[in-house]
Structure 1
């Protein structure tokens, strides 16, 4: 079932699509054929600005996890043979510090409706009973509604489609590698050992996702990835992790 078929969500989807089209029309005299792609980039930047408080909350939570990590390791060593006691002591530590293992998660979930509606615009070929004309606009000749995998399976692959998506994947993967090198994640030692390695791998999953989604969504992912790295670097200075 498509949730965006429900009247309230369908209306929100239609309004968001019309807003992006209006912005495209406004940018057309200045940007010409690049207007729709620039509209996607501009809206993405606005969304990231709105979500700055979420980033701050996550940075604080990451700092707290890193600060508590040595004490969590002590608890794990002391109570490793008593999982129930370990759980109680761990939760008590979080309560004493006026925080929780889920700190930073709720603000992250709060952004889901905003991000979700944008992705819905990029993924729905029809909106409000009519064609989503935003996706018929293009970037360097590649329709915003085309995905790399879709082009491969439908036989519409061409050199420009390959080049545009290759550029997007290179940027996203490059930012992921910089993130891995420059931003050491704060891990919870009470969690499973494989989690640390999984965090590093997940950095690169966005590049894979970009191959399957329409170009408009891939642009959103690219801008978001670059913004997130810059924001996290700035916030790491404000909320540094313990050495």
Structure 2
């Protein structure tokens, strides 16, 4: 069953389709062929503007965890029993009104929007009418096709995907380094002096942010545009909020 045909979902998709189409038409006089792609970028910026309060909550929690880092390190050192250590950490977070899960909020809040953008560019019909977004391209690459579906079309059709993936990888790496500088290495409770509780976890955390790059390679080009724009916004937003909230 195609969930995009379910009436409530179809209405939402049709509304988003109208917004992206209207934004594309608004900029098409000077953007030309890239109007629809620019419409996706503008739509992403609108979404991120709406989610600014979520970003503030996330950075405020980061600042709180940074302030609590010495106390957390002390708990990890003094309490060796995992259940007892978890209870002590939760009690510390609760007493200081710091959420250990706030870092997940932007990702969770954006997931439905990203899914909707993905759906807009993989369905030939939206709410019973033809999906005109699929007729648009960026640099010769179809907004509704992914990298692997375009490989046989030659370099002229592939280069927009390559540029997009490189840009996304750069932004993800810059974000990872900025977070590491601000919060320090992720603290994982040690199993004992000089021992790592979860072998290989550091390496996993190092590469985990790049899953979005892998997703972009398999997703429609339009979804990749959403990811790059959103990641760039996040990088700038966190830089500003970290400075402002740390001073506050």
TM-score of the superposed pair, with normalisation by structure 2? 0.84
Contact map agreement 2:17 2:120 (CA 8 A) in 1: yes
Q: Does 1:44 align with 2:40?
A: no
Between 1:18-27 and 1:180-189, the stretch displaced more is 180-189
Between 1:207-216 and 1:125-134, the stretch displaced more is 125-134
Contact map agreement 1:148 1:161 (CA 8 A) in 2: no
Q: Does 1:222 align with 2:228?
A: yes
Alignment match of 1:175 (pick from 160, 171, 174): 171
TM-score of the superposed pair, with normalisation by structure 1? 0.86
Q: How does 1:204-215 map to 2 (within 5 A)?
A: 204-215=210-221
Contact map agreement 1:65 1:188 (CA 8 A) in 2: no
Contact map agreement 2:58 2:105 (CA 8 A) in 1: no
What is the aligned partner in structure 1 of residue 120 from structure 2? 121
Contact map agreement 2:141 2:158 (CA 8 A) in 1: no
**Whole-angstrom distance in 1 between the partners of 2:205 and 2:245:** 20
* Superposition RMSD in Å: 2.4
Cα deviation, 1:207-237, whole Å, max 9, x if unaligned, reads 2221111111111111111111111111221
Contact map agreement 1:13 1:121 (CA 8 A) in 2: yes
What is the aligned partner in structure 2 of residue 23 from structure 1? 23
1:125 Cα deviation after fit: 3.3
What is the aligned partner in structure 2 of residue 87 from structure 1? 86
Pairs aligned (count): 237
**Whole-angstrom distance in 1 between the partners of 2:214 and 2:102:** 28
Gaps of at least 5 residues in structure 2 are 191-196
Gaps of at least 5 residues in structure 1 are none
Counterpart secondary structure, 2:102: coil
